[in-house]
Structure 1
Amino acid sequence: MQTYTVEQVAQHNNAKDCWIIVDDKVFDVTKFLSEHPGGKKVLVKMAGKDASQQFKNFHNDAIMQRVGLPMQIGVIASSTPATPTTSATPATPATPATSATTRSSPATYTISDIVSGAESKFGEGIPYGDPSWYQEWNSPYYNKSHIELRKVMREFVDKEITPFCHEWSEAKAIPRSVVKRCGEIGMLAAISGAASNPSVASLLPYPLPAGLTTDQFDIFHEFICVDELSRCGSGGLVWAVEGGLAIALPPVLNFGSDEMKKEVVPAVLSGEKFISLAITEPSAGSDVANLTTSAKDAGDHFILNGEKKWITQGAYADYYVVAARTGGSGMAGISLLLVPRTLQGVNARAMDCQGMWGSGTSYITFEDVKVPKTNLIGKLNHGFKYIMTNFNHERLGIVMQANRLARVCIEEAFKHSLKRKTFGQPLIQHPVIRNKFGHCIRQVEATHAWLESILYQVKTLPHETQANVLGGPIALLKAQSTQTFEYCAREAAQIFGGLAYTRGGQAEKVERLYREVRAYAIPGGSEEIMLDLGVRQTLKKVKL
């Protein structure tokens, strides 16, 4: 890339020929003057000068990636050349990890055993902006395959997802091409439960990310994928990619017929089609046992009637996994059906919600829909059991997302507190601000440690015992994570002040996440239900 001296840039110092410097990169912003949201005079005032500090005071990194870099024409002579990125482009395929341990190997690595020196530190280095094992702390949970996956995922998300989240959120639509890219790099298989299900290994349309094999893949690989995707700071984006997939596909994987798997699994894991879970009704949310949608026996098919509400990805889903009453009252009369959107009588419309824009939250009606009996998932009237089996995985996914989003709030607010000055000193120098960070950090770190402990039980306990052993702790952890998220979103908004009251700009992520908190606190079991369930599960082990 062309190099310039500071003196050369200084010659381009008026509205007809306007160059500026930001972080040793040279930009020609002449044609952008009339489009600048703050007015052309703001830029003309800095024409020919270094505007690094001013840029950082008013913009976030995503603006540079999306808007700034296409205008870059060179670098200052003493700086390292940079390659501009003009749009989301395919990431370079990762090199397979050659020395990763298999699932059966004991976790005996320490981080220093795997990487050393500068490589042992990962991320931007903002205190508590990443989990402790990213910053030289030893951990019994991770090996080289996890470290390689972490690197691949971050590069993909930072390049192809994060810079565009605000634009997609405001449009209330995530491009289908984004989901297809997630499929192509193997992420959809990694975060849906498919990668750890041997029965569908031959149906995966693409290899797993970072050269992982299904034998190597464990719950901590899934955690890293969800965690790094969530770092984009948009719950709406995360749910548009996998909000329906991660909760609707497992029943098909675990209980569907071979024919059903062959039709559905490759299609949804490639991002070509979408699937969503239709359980919640206008009058039946957490009270699943009393849902009223019915599927009447009509010979070789069921007649499905009813309504479903707040269905993630439902507005554009191609398949619905529907909970319907096929028997008597209560939990013993519920079945799961795979309902293609193309069947006559299926209607879905998008709902206008407080947050999670672009995730396709919908209201669905079924009017005399003829569902072939071959579309029954598992056994008749066993649907409630399948739903309960699925809840632990769903809630763990919510915990993974919520705690990373809380961490995003800390990271964004911390970066702001280092550069924003009030009363003559940076925000971080004020004790009241450090107190806010202290309370946020202690909750996020505690939640993360509990999550890792539970994930280790998922990895090591017999599958048939996990529902009873982990159901209560996971319920409590779900409430812990969402309350932590809400706390951190509020405190981060306070630290940003008025910047967090407007959409876009430096506080873009925090403003958006503050609106998305309710979508984590309620779905998957409300906090109130989770806290009660956690204690009730404990009481089963106590003699009264």
Structure 2
Amino acid sequence: MAENSPNPVPFSEPPYLRGLPNPYITPAHLRFQKACRKFAWENLIQHAMEWEKAGTVPEHVFHTFCKANMLLPNMPAPLPVDWLKRLGINDILGVKVEDWDYTYTGIYCDEMGRSGLSGPSGSLNAGFAFGIPPIVKFGSKELQERFLPDLLTGKKRACIAITEPEAGSDVANITTTAVKTADGKHYIVNGTKKWITNGIWSDYATMAVRTGGKGASGLSVLVVPLKNHPGVSMRRLKVSGQITGGTTYIELDDVKVPVSNIVGKEGDGMRIIMTNFNHERLIIAVGVTRQARVALSAAFSYCLKREAFGKTLMDQPVVRHRLAKAGAELETMWAWVEQILYQLSHMTKEEGDRQLGGLTALAKAKSAMVLNECAQVAVLLFGGNGFTQTGQAILRDVPGARIPGGSEDVLLDLSVRQLVKIYQAQEKKLVQSSKI
């Protein structure tokens, strides 16, 4: 629906948009939601299916969003206020940049996913969500001065480049190398990166490289020039879902990069990558939960109208059973996502990473399971209509939810390992305090 009135179909809106009391949402958040929904509809959502079928979102859309500061919400909260104000950026659709919190981020990601397709919004936001934050958080002052003015305003584009053909979720075994030249002024980068969202359009990649020996301690993060840079070749990959996301294969053959392009210090790569993943997984979880809403509410609406065996599908107990099970998963997921967003808004970044890193990984994995359930239910209930390419559009996006940002099984394991680590630290403190 283009207008701001909530969709009345069950499961189509989060509870706060159905007028139910909500402890997290303020009047300011509601004002932003209305403005965000209007902007996203006019400039993206109403054209999303058309652009997904065409395979590419027109370039002018990226510039329209940047001009309105509407890609900045993809960045971790709080925003880099000092940098934004230096660049003359004071608000996002009326929200002062210094007032931005993770609840605004959640609202934004939810609204950007209203088409039910992750590709169109993904074609715009990957650089701001994943590529720029490491430079903001870990980059030297000199590195930030060179790159942030153009990246934060959209004059240049960035992506995150971690995954390789043989190393995806197994980040510690990345093989792309960055070797210093004899004069110590440059790195020579060699290797390949695969499944890189937005890579084909990016001027730079915030890239995981190996500057040292084997394992996590040998990893670093480097800002590597891409478009038209000697030694870099890129091609788009054909994927089944998220077609407009610009999934890219990057080959690096003796690519010369200034040593000053290092993010943080040599050997800091694993720490930088892991903390960046927490934000990535959270915003994926929000967007994926909206996709599940679109799928399930579309099925619900269809079942109210479609007749079979002399009655509507909604009159069939088995249909109501399927909708109920999927709906319970969906609303449970949203409540958890809202809770994490609120918690992060009231914790330091360091404490949030420590306490919520494992749970955020688990939430991301669970959100993809919920999407799979809701999309499968929708396709089954739509019957033949669900078997068409258009009918299966959201279902085709499911692998793109279950794999990026850490594949599902890896994240399930990671979440428990993180929880055990927190438990052990707390147990150690209790033991020590009991001896005093």
TM-score (ref. length: structure 1): 0.74
8 Å CA contact retained: 1:189, 1:195: no
Matching residue within 322, 347, 353 for 2:207? 322
Q: Deviations over 1:443-502 (max 9, x none)?
A: 011111111111122111222222221111111111110000011001011111111222
Out of 397, 409, 434, the position equivalent to 1:528 is 409
- The 3-state SS of whatever aligns with 2:244 is coil
Contact 2:281 2:361 (8 Å CA) reproduced: yes
Aligned residue for 2:434? none
1:10-409 to 2 correspondence within 5 Å? 122-193=5-76, 196-204=79-87, 206-298=89-181, 299-341=184-226, 342-409=228-295
**Alpha-carbon distance between aligned partners in 2 of 1:451 and 1:184, rounded to the nearest angstrom:** 29
State how far apart, in whole Å, the 2-side matches of 1:308 and 1:486 are: 27
Distance 1:519 1:264 in 2: 29
The 5 A counterparts of 1:470-509 are 470-504=356-390, 507=391
Q: Which has the higher contact order (CA 8 A, sep 6+)?
A: 2
Assess if the C-alpha contact under 8 Å between 2:77 and 2:102 holds in 1: no
The alpha-carbon deviation at position 330 of structure 1 amounts to: 1.0
Could you say which structure has the larger radius of gyration?
1
- Alpha-carbon distance in 2 for matches of 1:422, 1:203: 62
Backbone CA RMSD of aligned residues: 2.0
1:185/1:207 contact within 8 Å kept: no
The alpha carbon displacement at 1:503 in A equals 3.0
1:438 is aligned to 2:324: yes
Equivalent in the alignment of 2:301: 415
**Aligned-partner Cα distance in 2 for 1:221–1:198:** 15
Rounded Cα–Cα distance in structure 2 between residues aligned with 1:157 and 1:165: 10
Q: Secondary structure at the match of 2:7?
A: coil
Q: Partners in 2 of 1:245 and 1:178 — Cα distance? A: 15
C-alpha separation between the residues in 1 aligned to 2:320 and 2:155? 47
Distance 2:258 2:93 in 1: 40
Q: Deviations over 1:286-322 (max 9, x none)?
A: 1111111000011111011011110001122111111
**Aligned AA (1:500):** G
Higher helix share: 2
Contact 2:77 2:105 in 1 (8 A): no
What does the per-residue CA deviation read over 1:254-278, in whole Å, with 9 as the maximum and x for residues that have no partner? Answer: 1123343344334334444321111
2:349 counterpart residue number: 463
Amino acid at match of 2:62: V
| Structure 2 residue ranges without an equivalent (≥5) | 429-436
Q: TM-score, normalised by structure 2?
A: 0.92
Q: 1:517 aligns with which of 394, 398, 403?
A: 398
SS at the partner of 2:159?
A: strand
Do the aligned partners of residues 487 and 382 (structure 1) sit closer, same or farther apart at CA in structure 2, a change above 3 Å counting? same
Indicate if the aligned counterparts of 1:187 and 1:208 stay in contact, CA closer than 8 A. Answer: no
Q: What is the CA-CA distance between 1:207 and the residue it aligns to?
A: 4.7
Post-superposition offset of 1:194: 7.2
Query: Are the equivalent residues in 2 in contact too, given 1:152–1:209 (CA < 8 A)?
Result: no
